[in-house]
Structure 1
Amino acid sequence: MSFLEHLDELRKRLVRSVIVIILAFAVCWVFSDKIYNFLSIPIREALSEASRRQLPVEGRTGDEKVLSLASIKEGDSGRYIFDRATKVGSTVVSAGASVAATVARDAAGKLGLFTTEALITNNAVISAGVRLPVEFEQTAVGTPNADERMTVTTTVEPFTLYATVALYAAIAISVPFLLFQIWGFISPALYKHERAYVTPFILLSSISFVVGAAFAYYILFPPAARYLLGLGSDFQLLLKASDYLDFITIIMLAMGGIFQMPAITYVLARIGIVTPKLLIKHWKISLVIIMIVAAVVSPTGDIPNMMLFATPMMALYVVSIFVAWFFGKRRRTDAEAKENTTI
């Protein structure tokens, strides 16, 4: 093919890809609110955890300690310490006051913290058995409360947000077709027998993309979100929905692309372009590239967060070496491939 023919082929592949993405966008737009709610679950859980007030109680051993509400179970008892002025019934209890309490269920079966002794405060008496204003049960993930909602700054931002969600989702579900177009563009440069790897390439790459995106969503992002929210615990957080959406989708798309490493290595090793010796020889350069990519993808430039993203990439590089070693072949021409088949 001449240079102009290559350009024309590229134009055709790009046009087809754009058409498919547009069609996928139309479908994803219908479900954009559900997709957004799904993507926002990790940050809502992190916000809920960050806003959950810890419960200062005296441990059963007699030592003063701070227990998370999530770690307390029915039957536990100790002293509840009011860390701020709190209204109990019609009485305001001053900060620093304490009362013996136990974890039990009320008549409706809801878990709560109840006093086991009378508390005298501000010339009033709070009798034993009074429920303290401590919530144990969290709001369901599907229905965010006020503390978990993100903010928008303009009236058109919700529309833009859902459109962006639909676009990212359209790109994600179009990955198999986009990979087929990429293969179709580069296949003329390959031998005929090498083009037979199109099916395993698309299948493995599509699976790798889904696994990578899921790894980012379920494994990488939650600890990163908790770490970042922990850094901002001394500030009033107003998290913009658009910033969060860009953040999590870029991470998911990036990890989906990074997880292509073994799949691409498999195809290149079968063709004979990549060998385990080549990957081992250039491991230092690869390590530098991995650290650069991790620094770009990670939300902050600190070492712990960066290693959170670099570690799976390094693991994938090692996996790729074994893939190349197990599936690698010497590159052959069509004539050599035909001769070996005949023999």
Structure 2
Amino acid sequence: MADIVDRARAAVSERAELPGMSLMEHLNELRRRIVHSVIYIVVGFFVAYAFHEKIYGYMQRPITLALAAHHMPTQLVYHNPIDAFNLYLKISFMGGCILASPFVLYQVWLFISPGLYQHEKRYVTPFMIATVGLFLAGAYFGFRWVFPGSLDFLLGYSKEFRPLIEINEYTDLFLTVILGLGITFELPILVMFLSLFGIVSPKFLWKNLRYAILIIFVIAAIITPTPDVLTMCVFATPMLCLYLISIGVSFMVHPSRRKAKAEAA
């Protein structure tokens, strides 16, 4: 822990030598980026709302197929007349956030880029592509394999009962699994930033691999929608692979490697 704190202090002190802005300039810049991000999200919301029925059709497809496979009624239910309207607003907002995420991430990069060296700013394109790509990969992994498999297990386990699946509860479960896996797949991006600023190193990540495995399985046990060990392993396996990939990413962007390459050149 002391080693991590020392690295963080060294990274902060190193960037303190860069020409900076005053506090008010930082606040104005932050306000500008937040306003732009909100505008992008609002635009994304209206675009997603124009296709809200199609979006929910894709979201409802896993439960519909699972119910049909077990010879159960496929129509979901609601308890309040306003539930359907609120549901469409919720999925339109989430869809708008996903559509606007590349533009919001670019605003984040514009805010932090003045504190980076010129050679560090070249990471903006890989950062944008990797962040969006990893999130979509995690969401697709959950939508294509994890969520349908979990629904099939749960419905098969309780086939002696008649299901009355409420639309809001199903949507919350869907978003928890899909967004949870999408965010989990961002682990290499987090490690890249920590390594870029010298806070963690590939040696540190490899040395603490056993603790990382324990934490990964704890997180998998929390976010998995079913209590069986098999589903937990399905969640944990890609997370473990991403951690190993993160070690390679850390090795590539760590300041010690960049310094060694500069000295060799």
With structure 2 as the length reference, what TM-score do the two structures score?
Answer: 0.81
Matched residue, 2:57: 37
1:9-28 equivalences under 5 Å are 9-28=29-48
Q: Which moved more, 1:307-316 or 1:38-47?
A: 307-316
| Aligned-partner Cα distance in 1 for 2:67–2:26 | 51
| Aligned-partner Cα distance in 2 for 1:37–1:169 | 13
Native 8 Å contact 2:76 2:164 kept in 1: yes
Matched residue, 1:236: 162
Give the secondary-structure state (helix, strand or coil) at the position aligned to 2:67: helix
Return the offset for 1:171: 1.2
Matched residue, 1:49: 69
Native 8 Å contact 1:265 1:324 kept in 2: yes
Give the secondary-structure state (helix, strand or coil) at the position aligned to 2:255: coil
The 1:2–1:301 alpha-carbon spacing in structure 2 relative to 1, beyond 3 Å, is farther
| Aligned-partner Cα distance in 1 for 2:194–2:120 | 10
1:52-91 equivalences under 5 Å are none
Code of the aligned partner of 2:60: S
Code of the aligned partner of 1:179: L
Gaps of 5+ in 1: 53-146
Q: Which moved more, 1:194-203 or 1:5-14?
A: 5-14
Return the offset for 1:286: 2.1
Q: Find out whether 1:185 has 2:111 as its counterpart.
A: yes
Return the offset for 1:42: 0.9
The 1:9–1:297 alpha-carbon spacing in structure 2 relative to 1, beyond 3 Å, is farther
Alignment equivalent of 1:258, drawn from 170, 176, 184: 184
The 1:12–1:296 alpha-carbon spacing in structure 2 relative to 1, beyond 3 Å, is farther
Matched residue, 2:3: none
Matched residue, 1:59: none
Code of the aligned partner of 2:40: V
Native 8 Å contact 2:37 2:103 kept in 1: yes
| Aligned-partner Cα distance in 1 for 2:245–2:257 | 25
Native 8 Å contact 1:201 1:264 kept in 2: no
| Aligned-partner Cα distance in 1 for 2:236–2:257 | 35
1:143-158 equivalences under 5 Å are 147-158=73-84
Q: Find out whether 1:166 has 2:92 as its counterpart.
A: yes
| Aligned-partner Cα distance in 1 for 2:228–2:22 | 48
Native 8 Å contact 1:194 1:271 kept in 2: no
Return the offset for 1:291: 2.5
Gaps of 5+ in 2: 1-20
Give the secondary-structure state (helix, strand or coil) at the position aligned to 1:307: helix
| Aligned-partner Cα distance in 2 for 1:210–1:12 | 28
Matched residue, 2:147: 221
Give the secondary-structure state (helix, strand or coil) at the position aligned to 1:290: helix
Native 8 Å contact 2:150 2:226 kept in 1: no
The 1:260–1:284 alpha-carbon spacing in structure 2 relative to 1, beyond 3 Å, is same
Matched residue, 1:61: none
Matched residue, 1:247: 173
| Aligned-partner Cα distance in 2 for 1:189–1:260 | 23
Give the secondary-structure state (helix, strand or coil) at the position aligned to 1:148: coil
Native 8 Å contact 1:46 1:225 kept in 2: yes
1:72-115 Cα distance to aligned partner (Å, 9 max, x none): xxxxxxxxxxxxxxxxxxxxxxxxxxxxxxxxxxxxxxxxxxxx
| Aligned-partner Cα distance in 2 for 1:232–1:50 | 10
Alignment equivalent of 2:243, drawn from 308, 317, 320: 317
Return the offset for 1:324: 3.3
Return the offset for 1:157: 1.0
Q: Find out whether 1:300 has 2:226 as its counterpart.
A: yes
| Aligned-partner Cα distance in 2 for 1:258–1:23 | 26
